[in-house]
Amino acid sequence: MKRIFFFIITNIAILLVLSIFLSLTGFTGILQSNGVDLDYDSLMLFSLVFGMGGSFISLYMSKWMAKRMAGVKIINEPSNEFEKWYFNVVKKHSQILGIKMPEIGIFPSEGPNAFATGASKNSSLVALSSGLVNSMNKNEIEAVIGHEMSHIANGDMVTLSLIQGIVNAFVIFFSRVIGHFVDRVILKNDRGYGIGYFFTVIFAQVVLGILASTIVCWYSRRREFRADYGGAQLTSKESMISSLRALERFSAAKLPDQMLAFGISNKGQTSTLQKLFSTHPPLAKRIQQLQETEIIAYTDEQQAS
């Protein structure tokens, strides 16, 4: 999926806009009464409020952003056999998981891809790429849908937002400490804040924000295993493994750049940098994990509900 990519990009953009706005308005509320030294208590409170606020704004914008950036065609009324099947599978999974049926859609992409996003379990979106629809059989597609539905049912986006909010708070705090140091020590400004402070804060916030995204990516990698397990519960271990093998066959070839950016797999590459910024574990590791795990399927009563 693409869900993490959309979330991180939106989050960084929101924080950047907030920083520019505060810089243009000459915000100095983090200074002590002498107008020179930092008030660390005020800065920590400011960082927490803006950090969590930026994260949850990103969460509530995630579905809107995903639709527009991926070009998702929403299916309100199924118009062909596949769309009817797709609708019924998502409806069935929603009933088993006890959540409101999400919006569903298809977006144009030659490669197999899918994502789920949304502000809550009951306000979500599941989207499949045209390449996935054309390259996988129905058992494999249903397993992919089950994987994405598990992300929704597990509340991954909300948990992700809490983690991102905390990370944001640290980014905001330390970017302003760095800006203060540059302004006071290097530029030797002893009143208010100069232009050097504002440029330093924005630059530091972008750099620290990118580095901090490795924490979000680490969380995402951990949650993929649980979503794979959920997909196997909703379908079967064999179907989930088969869908991952289909992705593995595709990723063994040269992927287009837009697919690499969304981290379906690491394409067999093992550099430390790529591992840090990968949102998904290697497909081979995910397959191995499923093979070694006993899957407890949903009960007949849950399947029939």
- Asked if 226 and 152 count as a contact pair (C-beta separation under 8 A), the reply is no
Q: Which residues contact 284 (CB under 8 A, 6 or more apart)?
A: 248
Distance, in Å, from the CA atom of 130 to the CA atom of 105, rounded to the nearest integer, reads: 10
Residue 148 annotated among the catalytic residues of the structure: yes
Q: How far is Cα 264 from Cα 253, in angstroms, rounded to an integer?
A: 13
Question: Is the four-CA dihedral 212, 218, 223, 228 of positive or negative sign?
Answer: positive
Give the DSSP letter of residue 70: H
Give one DSSP letter per residue of 131-188, joined into a string.
HHHHHS-HHHHHHHHHHHHHHHHTTHHHHHHHHHHHHHHHHHHHHHHHHHHIIIIIS-
Q: What is the residue type of 297?
A: A
DSSP annotation string for 268-287: T---HHHHHT-SS--HHHHH
Q: Which of 140, 148, 224, 238 is catalytic?
A: 148
Active site residues: 148
